Amino acid sequence: MNIIIFGPPGAGKGTQSSFLVNKIKMFQLSTGDLLRAELKSGSELAKQLKEIMDAGKLVSDDIINELIEKKISDPQVKNNIIFDGFPRNLEQANALDGMLKKYDQKISAIINLKVDYSILVKRISGRISCSICKKPFNEFFDPPIEAKNCENNNCESRELIKRSDDNESTVSNRLKTYDEQTLPILDHYRSKGIVKDVDAMQSINDVTSQIEAIISDL
Ligand SMILES: [Zn+2]
């Protein structure tokens, strides 16, 4: 069984994938992790990758697909994969379908995490964290009232820091790209009848329960 966990940035794809990895021992495939692992491997491809990334260029779909094909064909993880953040566009979805077919596999379900964009913008643009203990807060949903809100008692003089790309215009741009390039994938898979909608506005645990129920029905 292979699954795609799908949804806009900030919908909780990574969080939900991690739960599934722990609970039902699936392999979480994210392209970021694949690239980092390959870079460490010292392979011929790692050298190429380092040059591309050092030059600030985007890694091509061909290279990404090569890394994904390695996993799809790997007896340790094949047919037990959660795709997290991939595919991002229709071309990648078609390439993935082709690779899976080649190794006698398919996607069993697309778990579609549905969240209101206004909430997403606040989730992402409100992210702040303690400069000392790194505890994450949210300006809108979980504001730190006093320094002792941190788990670490040595944080009295801490600053709250915000990543520069976690601002409202960056988030809106990411959602726009998602709408234009990633969302059409849903229609592609809806025509195959494998899209499963999940209300991702619920608590993390409730969302996990909805996903578990879907998977146990597959
Ligand atoms: Zn702290």
Sole residue written with tokens 């010292």: 42
Q: What is the DSSP string of 49-94?
A: HHHHHHTTPPPPHHHHHHHHHHHHT-TTTTT-EEEES---SHHHHH
What is the pLDDT, as a whole number, of residue 153?
A: 61
Domain residue ranges of the chain, discontinuous segments joined by +: 2-116+182-216
Active-site pick, 13, 122, 158, 196: 13
Question: Active site includes 57?
Answer: no
Active site annotation includes 13: yes
Query: What's the CA-to-centroid distance between 94 and ligand 1, angstroms?
Result: 45
Asked if residue 85 has pLDDT above 70, the reply is: yes
- Model confidence over 139-167: pLDDT tens digits? 988 888 776 677 766 787 788 899 888 88
The average confidence (pLDDT) of the chain is: 91
Q: CATH number of the domain at 2-116+182-216, please?
A: 3.40.50.300
